[in-house]
């Protein structure tokens, strides 16, 4: 049996871009709500907000790639997703930086045994917000 290729891309449309943008906006909305309640010491809400920010960033990157490139990353190698969003124009360089930052936090936020500190959670939500805004410009404003 031959090994499965790691890199995958899937074709997508402007309609797909709009759906992924709605997902991204929804994840970001809930991340903001959770972060606003993160002062409860009995809960790990900063980790939850960070995890939602990661999901928002991934969905926003998908939306931007669908709108600009007509394809999105579907493989397990996150670096391929970062490289793909980097080729989006305009704004791909900043989007790639923000997605890379979010993906570097993914493991701790979603699977870690430590609680993500408040300053990291706030940064994650800010990176996700920037990605969502950039995707919105490509999906809603661009032709």
Q: What is the pLDDT of residue 46?
A: 95
Contact 14, 67 (CB under 8 A): yes
- Over the chain (143 residues), the average pLDDT of each successive run of 10 is 60 96 98 93 91 97 96 86 95 97 94 92 98 96 66
Domains in the chain, CATH or no CATH each: 11-141 (1.20.120.330)
Q: What is the pLDDT of residue 76?
A: 78
Inter-residue long-range contacts of 65-70, CB under 8 Å, 24+ positions, other chains counted: 65/12, 66/12, 66/13, 66/14, 66/16, 66/17, 66/20, 66/139, 67/14, 67/17, 67/135, 67/138, 67/139, 67/142, 68/92, 68/138, 68/142, 70/11, 70/12, 70/13
Q: What is the pLDDT of residue 10?
A: 92
Q: What is the pLDDT of residue 20?
A: 98
**pTM of the full predicted structure?**
0.91
């Amino acid at each position: 049996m031959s090994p499965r290729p790691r890199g995958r891309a899937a074709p997508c449309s402007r309609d797909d871009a709009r759906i992924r943008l709605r997902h991204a906006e929804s994840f970001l909305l809930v991340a903001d709500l959770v972060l606003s309640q993160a002062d409860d010491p009995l809960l790990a809400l900063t980790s939850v907000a960070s995890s939602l920010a990661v999901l928002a960033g991934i969905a926003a990157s998908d939306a931007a790639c669908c709108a600009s490139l007509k394809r999105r990353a579907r493989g397990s190698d996150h670096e391929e997703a970062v490289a793909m969003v980097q080729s989006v124009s305009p704004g791909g360089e900043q989007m790639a930086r923000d997605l890379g930052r979010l993906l570097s936090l993914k493991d701790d936020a979603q699977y870690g045994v430590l609680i993500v500190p408040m300053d990291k959670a706030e940064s994650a939500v800010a990176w996700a917000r920037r990605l969502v805004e950039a995707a919105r410009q490509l999906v809603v404003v661009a032709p």
